[in-house]
Amino acid sequence: MARRISIEAGAAQAAIRNPFPGRSFTMDLTLAFSSIAVCALGLVILYSAVDQNMPLLLRQGIRLSVALLAFVVAAQVAPATLRLWTPWIFLASVGLLLWVLVDGAVGNGAQRWLDWGVIRFQPSEILKLAVPLMVAWYMHDRALPPNLLNLTVLACIVAVPTMLILRQPDLGTAALVFAAGGLTVLLAGLSLRVIAALSVIALGMAPVLWTTMLDYQRARVLTFLNPESDPLGAGYNIIQSKIALGSGGLFGRGWLNGTQSHLEFLPERSTDFIFAVMGEEFGLLGLLFLLGLYLVVVGRGLYIAAQAQDNFGRLLAGGISLTFFLHVFVNAGMVCGLLPVVGVPLPLISLGGTSMVTLMAGLGILTAIHGNRRLLVT
């Protein structure tokens, strides 16, 4: 007992003195190669999706560079250091959410953005990382599985940001942030009975949620249940995206040859529906290749989680990896009509910055957890 404390205290002190201990450069080649491959593929598809609009691509390139930087830097931060920072990161990001509600920029009927002149970003995206971090931080020195008291605290950690994001309103991101926290709690050993009970409660809450949803959100859910009911309005996206995917076939129509996307049948084709552009131009084989790359990232992350040497590392790595997967699944599921249309971008590919930077920072944290695992074995 005493010894463990001294090691941790020692590491913490070292971390405070120097957040980047003078060890050799930390990098995980599997994660780096697979994620950079996804990013590169993303640029190729985006080139087609934005009709070869170079200024747009250039801006996406800059965002990509920032994301890569975030990846490399995050990989150098020792997990112990990160753990010390976690509560502040969480509080700061919740603070940003409040700021958005008070003074955010409005677009598409929702208030999601902070515009600081130089940069413009979506604080809700940061929570996809901050919530698993906070859950892992809270459980790292407490007994697993969490008891009722701890579960209550964890529920608050997850619920507060989720509610704030729902107020924006942004159903998609709120669901993902909730899932990110929930999955991390699940890894911490949430009993299956509790999960069953929560599902029942969730079903009971559905009518309540329905009454608080905005008209466009309800329209999306109704359209998901029956897209043909409104082919001119809300069902238009989903019908067009299925036509794009389906006409791509096994091999695709070839790069820059997708008619659905280039003739502007397909809406949101550079953001939420870019998966359909990929499917139209590169076919099922292209999509399988992309999904394969994603699974390498997720699989490697889960492996890192299993190999991690303390609960903080295990929970955090597992939470980040599963959130990443869910991100992919929700977007792809929405494009092929398995899930309702919620605004969730395709990881590392959709046009947009905040999501890309936080996702890459998450992968950086995975790298750091793996790279620093021997530090604690002394």
Partner 1 sequence: MRRQIQIRDRWKEQRLVTSRLLFTSVLVLAMSSVLVWRLFQIQVSHHEVFAELAQGNRVRIEPLAPTRGLIFDRNGQLLAENLPAWELVAIPEEITDLPASLQALEALELLDPAERGNLVDAVNSHRRFERVVLANLTEAQAARFSARRHRFSGIDIREGLIRHYPYGDLTGHSIGYMGSISAADMQRIDRANYAATALIGISGVERSYQDELHGTVGFRQQLVNAQGRVLVDPASIGASSDSMPGNLDTRWPTPGDNLVVSLDIQLQLAAQRAMEGLRGAVVAIEPATGDVLALVSTPAFDPNRFASGLSHSGYREIETDPDKPLFNRALAGRYPPGSTVKPFLGLAAMNLNALNPDDPTFCGGHYSLPGQTHQYRDWRREGHGLVDLHRAVVESCDVYFYRLAVDIGIDAIDSSLRIFGFGDRTGIDIGGEIRGVVPSRTWKRNNFSRREDQTWFPGETVISGIGQGYTTATPLQLAHATAALASGARFRPRMAVALQTADSGDVVTIDPVRLDSLPEIDPRHWQRIREAMIGVTEDPSGTALLAMLQTPYRVAGKTGTAQVISLAQDEEYDEEALDERLRDHGLFIAFAPADNPTIAVAVVVENGGSGSGLPAQAARRILDAWLAAEDYG
Structure tokens at 146: 């969490």
Q: Is 299 in the site for partner 1 (CB under 8 A)?
A: yes
Question: Which of 47, 44, 49 lies closest to 277, judged by CA?
Answer: 49
Give the residue from 318, 296, 294 showing the smallest Cα distance to 305: 318
User: By C-beta, is 96 or 320 nearer to partner 1?
Assistant: 320
Binders of partner 1 among residues 140 to 169 (CB under 8 A) are: 143-145
Nearer to partner 1, 29 or 232 (CB): 232
List the one residue from 322, 344, 349, 363 that touches partner 1 (CB under 8 A): 322
Q: Decide: is 260 part of the binding site for partner 1 (CB under 8 A).
A: yes
Residue 196 lies near partner 1 (rule: CB under 8 A): no
Taking 3-state DSSP, the helix, strand and coil percentages for the chain, each rounded to the nearest 5, stand at 70, 5, 25
3-state secondary structure of 312: helix
Mark residues 65-104: x for contact with partner 1 by CB under 8 A, - for none: ----------------------------------------
Contact region for partner 1 (CB under 8 A) — 7-15, 28-36, 162-170, 187-195? 187-195
Question: Can you say how many angstroms the Cα of residue 49 is from the centroid of all Cα atoms in its chain?
Answer: 22
Is 233 a binder of partner 1 (CB under 8 A)?
yes
Both structure tokens of 59 = 């801006």
Q: With the C-alpha atoms ordered 227, 229, 234, 240, is the resulting torsion angle positive or negative?
A: positive
Pinpoint the alpha helices (H) of 167-258.
171-187, 192-212, 215-225, 236-248
Q: Where are the beta strands (DSSP E) in the chain?
A: 105-107, 110-115, 120-121
336 makes contact with partner 1 (CB under 8 A): yes
Within 13 Å and on the Cβ side, how many CA atoms surround 31?
31
Least Cβ distance, residue 281 to partner 1 (angstroms): 12
Q: Which is nearer to partner 1, 244 or 356 (CB)?
A: 244
Q: What number of other Cβ atoms are within 10 A of residue 65's Cβ?
A: 10
Chain positions contacting partner 1, by CB under 8 A: 1, 143-145, 183, 186-189, 227-228, 230-233, 236, 238-239, 242-250, 253, 259-260, 263-265, 279-280, 283-284, 287-288, 291, 295, 298-299, 302, 305-306, 311, 314-315, 318, 322, 325, 329, 332-333, 336-338
